[in-house]
């Protein structure tokens, strides 16, 4: 593949800038979360996250290096390999914190449920790329995508990883809505979903049920399941307008916060930077998502637009669910804050997603 | 560029463009929702969450000030505070509290059921509240807990000073005891820095002198992490130990008094006739204040308060008894001072006295024959005083009794002192809305009827007789010092009143009191001592009125037996110490009470000799050095 000069001139610098900015916020906050007061410096996590940034950049540039139309051919093989990895993780996976989520690659522990999120977008963009029927898709048309996505959701649920399963499901729903599902059909789907809820409840692990019950009533068990929610809200709330200052978050430093460097990193950030910091961070996400949304409108074909949209859906839902969960308006489910939470698999996945968007946007003039 | 399949359109996707505009609105709403939540948490509720985070982070560790020590007049230690350890459990810090407690029970060789019961009973409290599993645990238990610290999450030891009464029951009633502050006291004393769980003086000197003994608690403001481990000390206030209190009490004399009372219910009070300083104040049955210090058990406590013999009551200040024949001292003085008694005039005692249609019996069958005042006191002739009673009249008797401090609180610095009763016509009108009947005066004349006194009052009365009429306020605290030895307060003699007495009155009464002990027919012969000359008066206070014949003490049921009194001072020539002895249901004062007083007097002389010897040795040493 030759390098087209037009490609370089249309390179999507803003998205690269955004991703580096979020990673920078991430690394500094991880430094604080991992700070050892006695030693006077942080543990190894911030440096590792910088290494994962390298991995992420590789993922991003891989994603934009080839014409996105190849994805049409790669979608199913990618999907199949994700399926394989998710099965593999159950067989030889590494457990931690009560669930089996990782495959140990020696230098790196891969969490296949992260890139699995991409597979949903790829296969659905492929499936829905042809022009929509005049009055939209009906339920009958959803069989194939449903059969494709359901195994991914089930495999993550059994790990168990409720957060990823929810992301997979919600991205799936976002995609079918965006692709042109008739509203009446969507209504049927919602109805069926509600009917399925009691069954789903049956399959949830006790701790997951507790989290949902605790969300509904955090004071149910203030020192058990409700502890994380309460402590996280205390951290955010006590940050007030300007925060307690970098490295001075007491909730964080004294370990009152759970999963400080991963799922609850927003609480660490909020405590130290206050409302002003939080608002700026959220506005940055909003601007980036709005910017990507413009790329949907500019995309030169439906396949590209769907790819961009799917990737936006991934980022958007991660931000909303993570912040809502940490701020106590949603049950605690394990969803990282895009590019800020610690984790190589998550970072590489997010940067790959941005890479796909960049791919489509820089090729909008290429015929 | 490679050929690609399924590319439907090259001019974008118009439907998606339209939908993405709707989508944009959705995204704006979602982000506004998140921002709203943050405004609520960080701005609206920010203050509350800041408070909660400080609450999380900072714990206040209070260090109560070490309570002041108490010494006797010779500088002998009576009370101090020794280090002790309480066993604390914080359920929050243990993942499996039951398992931890079972393990702990094993190390302590205690019954796990008991520990688990304590835990269950307190389950309703917050998990971060500490639970006291044991107070003042013994040394092996301290070692066991320290050794197995790592296996026992949530279990810790807290050092705290524990009150130590070196003489236990011997000084119990004077010193009192400490107890955990109760809700009522807490409400009252909150401003003074008391908190729940604090110990506070509940009785005796510990209570009355709480303010000075207590000291000031210090504390540490400690930053802790999520596991409750201390990270650093943010602020520290050092505690200030309480003041040292020096008593007028003499430990040796107290011991003698307490030993003398052993096996009996009663009290002995000894005081310095020239100052009112209490030298000994023992009351039996006693209790062990150390039991309170280690945290009294419920059954021990209910045993103490339900005990018929009232071990918690200080009989010297709280016991009110008819004075019996000891009241004849007041009667004699009143008679002489009022000119009603001609000291040498003689009456005939047939063994009874008739007043109206009633006959009052003398204690001696057949009577004392010809009796003058001297003989009446020495032999304790009832008939003599029966006839004197109506002559004086109740109000003149009351006037003289009151002059000697009877019927009023002495004002000693111990709580719950009682006043006793000296009846008068006015008193009876107020109390019973009835006139005084002259016949009642006859009973009062020998210290029966409505008259009651406390042993302390009688001791003080004897002191006034001994010193020529000065009634001092009895006191027990000599000096209060700060820890560095600076005098904070000093107490000395305080004269309540000086009783104007004719020299002749004093001479006659004193001579008779000396003969009570030394004369052949004296009722107090049992107090006669080779070491010291003693003056005194016996008394037998009737508990129930005897109708009909004479009954020997041994033939009466224990609770119906008379109380035995002996009130006295010594030495006769140069009085220094006054002693009142009361033995409940002891029978005749001469038999039961007088020998006890003798023991204490002899001890007093011995102590005095020791100290003069010591001074002599010192003086000799000095003169030799010169």
Residue ranges of domains in chain B: 251-301+312-610
Confidence of residue B10 (pLDDT cuts 50, 70, 90): very low
- 3-state secondary structure at position A79: helix
* Rounded Cα gap, residues B446 and B398, in angstroms: 13
Residue B625 has pLDDT above 60, yes or no: no
What value does the mean pLDDT take over residues B329-356?
91
| Lookup: tokens for A19 | 């991703």
**B-proximal residues of A, 52-111, CB under 8 Å:** 67, 69-70, 72
Residue B4 has pLDDT above 50, yes or no: no
Q: Are strands B244-247 and B70-71 parallel, antiparallel or unpaired?
A: parallel
Site of tokens 């230690």: B77
Residues of B in contact with A289 (CB under 8 A): 27
Q: What integer pLDDT is reported at residue B2 of this predicted model?
A: 40
More confident residue, A323 or B619: A323
Q: What integer pLDDT is reported at residue B143 of this predicted model?
A: 87
DSSP string across B123-139: TTS-TTS-EEEESS--H
Please enumerate in sequence order all residues whose Cβ is within 8 A of that of B27, keeping only pairs 6 or more positions apart, or say none: A286, A289, A290, A293, A316
The reply to whether residue B53 touches residue A67, judged by beta carbons under 8 angstroms, is no
User: Residue B282: in which H helix or E strand, if any?
Assistant: strand B278-284
* Rounded Cα gap, residues B239 and B250, in angstroms: 31
Does residue B376 contact residue B519 with C-beta atoms inside 8 Å? Answer: no
Site of tokens 């955004």: A18
Distance of residue B31 Cα from the nearest chain A Cα, in angstroms? 7
Residues of B in contact with A278 (CB under 8 A): 38, 42
Q: Over the stretch A253-273, which tens digit does the pLDDT of each residue have?
A: 887 887 788 899 999 999 999
Confidence of residue B546 (pLDDT cuts 50, 70, 90): low
| A139 within domain boundaries | yes
Choice among A121-125, B122-126, B323-327 with the minimum mean pLDDT: B122-126
**A-proximal residues of B, 219-238, CB under 8 Å:** 223-227, 231
What value does the mean pLDDT take over residues B559-583?
92
Interface check for A334 against chain B (CB to CB < 8 A): the answer is: no
Among B12, B15, B30, whose Cβ lies nearest the Cβ of A132? B15
Residue A61 has pLDDT above 70, yes or no: yes
Confidence of residue B299 (pLDDT cuts 50, 70, 90): confident
The reply to whether residue A293 touches residue B4, judged by beta carbons under 8 angstroms, is no
Give the number of residues written for chain B: 626
| A367 within domain boundaries | no
What value does the mean pLDDT take over residues B434-453?
92
Does residue A363 contact residue A4 with C-beta atoms inside 8 Å? Answer: no
Helices H / strands E in chain B, number of each: 23, 23
More confident residue, A100 or A87: A87
Which residue, B492, B518, B610, B522, is CA-closest to B570?
A: B518
* Rounded Cα gap, residues B475 and B204, in angstroms: 13
Phi-psi region at A299: left, alpha or beta (left = phi > 0; alpha = psi -120 to 50)? beta
DSSP string across B7-64: ---SS--HHHHHHHHHHHHHHHHHHHHHHHHHIIIIIISHHHHHHHHHHHHEEEEEEP
DSSP string across B172-183: HHHH-EEEEPPH
> What is the ipTM metric for this complex?
0.93
Which residue, A358, A261, A271, is CA-closest to A312?
A: A358
pLDDT-above-70 percentage for chain A: 94
User: Residue B334: in which H helix or E strand, if any?
Assistant: helix B328-337
Which residue, B481, B509, B253, is CA-closest to B374?
A: B509
The reply to whether residue B53 touches residue A251, judged by beta carbons under 8 angstroms, is yes
Q: Over the stretch B594-604, which tens digit does the pLDDT of each residue have?
A: 999 999 999 99
Residues of B in contact with A297 (CB under 8 A): 12, 16-17, 20
Q: Could you say which of B81, B275, B283, B325 is catalytic? A: B325
The reply to whether residue A270 touches residue B38, judged by beta carbons under 8 angstroms, is yes
Phi-psi region at B339: left, alpha or beta (left = phi > 0; alpha = psi -120 to 50)? left
Q: Over the stretch B98-143, which tens digit does the pLDDT of each residue have?
A: 888 888 888 888 888 887 887 777 776 666 667 888 877 888 888 8
Site of tokens 């002192």: B417
Among B2, B34, B46, whose Cβ lies nearest the Cβ of A282? B34
Q: What integer pLDDT is reported at residue B176 of this predicted model?
A: 92
| Lookup: tokens for B324 | 């019996």
Which residue, A179, A113, A196, A193, is CA-closest to A142?
A: A179
Tally the C-alpha atoms within 13 A of residue B351's C-alpha that lie toward its C-beta: 6
What value does the mean pLDDT take over residues A38-55?
91
DSSP B414: S
Residues of B in contact with A226 (CB under 8 A): none
Does residue B418 contact residue B313 with C-beta atoms inside 8 Å? Answer: no
Residue B206 has pLDDT above 60, yes or no: yes
pTM: 0.64
Range picked from A330-339, B155-164, B191-200 for highest mean pLDDT: A330-339
Containing domain of residue A315, as a range?
A: 5-362
Does residue B459 contact residue B578 with C-beta atoms inside 8 Å? Answer: yes
Does residue B410 contact residue B551 with C-beta atoms inside 8 Å? Answer: no
CATH C-level class of B251-301+312-610: alpha beta
What value does the mean pLDDT take over residues A296-322?
93
Residue A224 has pLDDT above 60, yes or no: no
The end-to-end CA distance of chain A, in Å, is 15
CA angle B527, B533, B534 (to 5 degrees): 50
| Lookup: tokens for A330 | 């949603």
Which residue, B323, B279, B273, B324, is CA-closest to B572?
A: B273
Distance of residue A224 Cα from the nearest chain B Cα, in angstroms? 10
B325 is catalytic: yes
Q: What integer pLDDT is reported at residue B7 of this predicted model?
A: 44
What value does the mean pLDDT take over residues B491-508?
94
Number of CB atoms found within 10 A of residue B76's CB: 15
| Lookup: tokens for A315 | 């980022």
Q: Over the stretch B67-89, which tens digit does the pLDDT of each residue have?
A: 899 999 999 999 988 778 888 88
DSSP A260: T
Q: Are strands B347-349 and A41-42 parallel, antiparallel or unpaired?
A: unpaired
Distance of residue A69 Cα from the nearest chain B Cα, in angstroms? 7
Which residue, B537, B602, B535, B600, is CA-closest to B570?
A: B535
Q: Over the stretch B385-423, which tens digit does the pLDDT of each residue have?
A: 999 999 999 999 999 999 999 999 999 988 889 999 999
Beta bridge partners of B352: B361
Q: Is the dihedral angle over the CA atoms A179, A181, A187, A191 positive or is it negative?
A: negative
Among B9, B28, B42, whose Cβ lies nearest the Cβ of A237? B42
* Rounded Cα gap, residues B443 and B446, in angstroms: 6
Question: From the centroid of its chain, how far is CA B220?
Answer: 33
The reply to whether residue A236 touches residue B38, judged by beta carbons under 8 angstroms, is yes
**A-proximal residues of B, 50-69, CB under 8 Å:** 50, 52-54, 56-57
Choice among B140-154, B242-256, B600-614 with the minimum mean pLDDT: B140-154
Does residue B410 contact residue B457 with C-beta atoms inside 8 Å? Answer: yes
Site of tokens 């002790």: B84
DSSP B336: H
What value does the mean pLDDT take over residues A316-334?
92
* Rounded Cα gap, residues B198 and B1, in angstroms: 86
- Compare all CA atoms of chain B with the CA of A284 and give the residue at the minimum distance: B31
Interface check for A236 against chain B (CB to CB < 8 A): the answer is: yes
Which residue, B216, B199, B200, B197, is CA-closest to B208?
A: B200
Confidence of residue B590 (pLDDT cuts 50, 70, 90): confident
Among B10, B34, B42, whose Cβ lies nearest the Cβ of A241? B42
Mean pLDDT, rounded, of chain B: 86
More confident residue, B211 or A337: A337
* Rounded Cα gap, residues B216 and A233, in angstroms: 38
Burial class (CB in 10 A: 0-12, 13-18, 19+), A159: buried
Report the domain count for chain A: 1
DSSP B474: P
Q: Over the stretch B368-389, which tens digit does the pLDDT of each residue have?
A: 889 999 999 999 999 999 999 9
Q: Is the dihedral angle over the CA atoms B271, B272, B274, B277 positive or is it negative?
A: negative
Q: Over the stretch B40-67, which tens digit does the pLDDT of each residue have?
A: 999 999 998 888 888 877 777 777 778 8
């Amino acid at each position: 593949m030759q390098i087209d000069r037009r490609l370089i001139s249309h390179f999507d610098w803003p998205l690269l800038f955004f991703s580096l900015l979020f990673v920078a916020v991430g690394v500094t906050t991880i430094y604080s979360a991992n700070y050892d007061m006695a030693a006077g410096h942080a543990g190894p996590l911030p440096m590792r996250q910088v290494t994962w940034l390298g991995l992420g950049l590789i993922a991003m540039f891989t994603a934009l290096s080839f014409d996105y139309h190849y994805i049409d051919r790669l979608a199913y093989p990618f999907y199949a390999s994700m399926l394989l990895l998710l099965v593999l993780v159950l067989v030889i996976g590494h457990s931690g914190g009560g669930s089996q989520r990782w495959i140990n690659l020696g230098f790196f522990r891969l969490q296949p449920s992260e890139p699995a999120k991409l597979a949903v977008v790829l296969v659905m963009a492929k499936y829905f790329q042809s022009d929509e029927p005049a009055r939209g898709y009906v339920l009958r048309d959803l069989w194939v995508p449903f059969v494709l996505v359901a195994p991914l959701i089930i495999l993550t649920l059994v790990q168990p990883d409720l957060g990823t399963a929810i992301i997979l499901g919600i991205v799936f729903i976002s995609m079918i809505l965006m692709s042109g599902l008739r509203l009446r059909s969507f209504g049927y789907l919602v109805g069926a979903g509600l009917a399925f809820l009691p069954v789903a409840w049956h399959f949830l692990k006790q701790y997951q049920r507790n989290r949902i019950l605790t969300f509904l009533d955090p004071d149910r068990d203030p020192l058990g399941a409700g502890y994380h929610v309460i402590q996280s809200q205390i951290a955010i709330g006590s940050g007030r307008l300007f925060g307690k200052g970098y490295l001075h978050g007491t909730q964080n430093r004294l370990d009152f916060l759970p999963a400080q460097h991963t799922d609850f990193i927003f609480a660490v950030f909020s405590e130290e930077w206050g409302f002003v910091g939080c608002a700026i961070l959220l506005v940055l996400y909003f601007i980036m998502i709005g910017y990507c949304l413009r790329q949907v409108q500019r995309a030169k074909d439906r396949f590209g637009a769907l790819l961009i949209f799917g990737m936006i859906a991934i980022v958007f839902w991660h931000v909303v669910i993570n912040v809502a969960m940490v701020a106590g308006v949603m049950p605690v489910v394990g969803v990282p804050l895009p590019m800020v939470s610690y984790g190589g698999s998550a970072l590489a996945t997010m940067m790959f997603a941005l890479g796909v968007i960049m791919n489509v946007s820089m090729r909008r003039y290429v015929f | 560029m490679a050929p690609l399949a399924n590319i439907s359109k090259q001019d974008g996707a118009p439907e998606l463009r339209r939908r993405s505009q709707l989508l944009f609105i959705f995204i704006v709403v979602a982000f506004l929702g998140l921002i709203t939540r943050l405004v609520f948490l960080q701005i609206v509720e920010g203050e509350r969450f800041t408070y909660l985070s400080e609450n999380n982070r900072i714990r206040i560790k209070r260090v109560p000030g070490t309570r002041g020590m108490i010494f006797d007049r010779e500088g002998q230690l009576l009370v101090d505070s020794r280090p002790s350890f309480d066993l604390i459990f914080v359920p929050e810090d243990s993942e499996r509290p039951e398992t931890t407690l079972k393990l702990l029970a094993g190390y302590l060789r205690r019954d796990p059921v008991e520990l688990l019961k304590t835990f269950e009973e307190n389950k309703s409290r917050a998990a971060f509240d500490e639970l006291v599993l044991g107070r003042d645990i013994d040394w092996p238990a301290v070692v066991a807990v320290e050794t197995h610290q790592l296996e026992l999450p949530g279990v810790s030891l807290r050092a705290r000073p524990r009150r130590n009464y070196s003489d236990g029951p011997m000084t119990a009633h004077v010193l009192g005891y400490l107890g955990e502050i109760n809700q009522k006291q807490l409400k009252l004393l909150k401003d003074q820095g008391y908190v729940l769980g604090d110990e506070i003086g509940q009785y005796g000197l510990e209570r009355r002198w709480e303010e000075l003994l207590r000291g000031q608690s210090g504390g540490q403001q400690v930053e802790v992490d999520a596991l409750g481990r201390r990270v650093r000390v943010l602020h520290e206030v050092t505690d200030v130990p309480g003041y040292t209190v020096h008593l007028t009490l003499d430990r040796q004399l107290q011991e003698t008094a307490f030993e003398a009372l052993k096996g009996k219910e009663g009290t002995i009070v000894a005081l310095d006739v020239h100052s009112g300083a209490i030298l000994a104040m023992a009351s039996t049955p006693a209790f062990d204040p150390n039991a309170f210090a280690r945290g009294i058990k419920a059954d021990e406590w209910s045993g103490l308060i339900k005990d018929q013999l009232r071990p918690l009551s200080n009989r010297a200040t709280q016991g009110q008894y008819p004075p019996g024949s000891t009241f004849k001292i007041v009667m004699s003085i009143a008679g002489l001072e009022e000119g009603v008694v001609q000291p040498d005039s003689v009456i005939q005692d047939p063994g009874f006295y008739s007043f109206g249609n009633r006959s009052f019996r003398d204690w001696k069958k057949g009577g004392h024959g010809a009796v003058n005042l001297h003989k009446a006191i020495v032999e304790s002739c009832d008939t003599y005083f029966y006839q004197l009673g109506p002559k004086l009249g109740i109000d003149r008797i009351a006037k003289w009794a009151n002059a000697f401090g009877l019927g009023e609180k002495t004002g000693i610095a111990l709580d719950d002192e009682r006043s006793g009763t000296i009846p008068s016509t006015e008193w009876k009108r107020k109390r019973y809305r009835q006139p005084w009947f002259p016949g009642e005066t006859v009973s009062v004349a020998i210290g029966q009827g409505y008259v009651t006194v406390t042993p302390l009052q009688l001791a003080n009365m004897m002191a006034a007789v001994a010193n020529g009429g000065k009634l001092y306020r009895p006191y027990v605290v000599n000096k209060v010092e700060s820890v560095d030895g600076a005098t904070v307060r000093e107490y000395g003699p305080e004269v309540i009143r000086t009783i104007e007495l004719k020299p002749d009155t004093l001479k006659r009464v004193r001579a008779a009191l000396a003969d009570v002990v030394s004369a052949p027919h004296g009722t107090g012969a049992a107090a006669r001592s080779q070491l010291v000359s003693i003056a005194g008066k016996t008394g037998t206070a009737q508990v129930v009125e005897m109708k009909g014949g004479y009954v020997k003490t041994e033939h009466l049921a224990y609770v119906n037996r008379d109380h035995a009194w002996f009130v006295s001072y010594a030495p006769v020539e140069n009085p220094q110490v006054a002693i009142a002895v009361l033995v409940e249901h002891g029978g005749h004062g001469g038999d039961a009470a007088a020998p006890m007083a003798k023991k204490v007097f002899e001890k007093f002389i011995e102590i005095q000799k020791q100290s003069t010897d010591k001074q002599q040795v010192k003086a000799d040493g000095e003169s030799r050095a010169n």
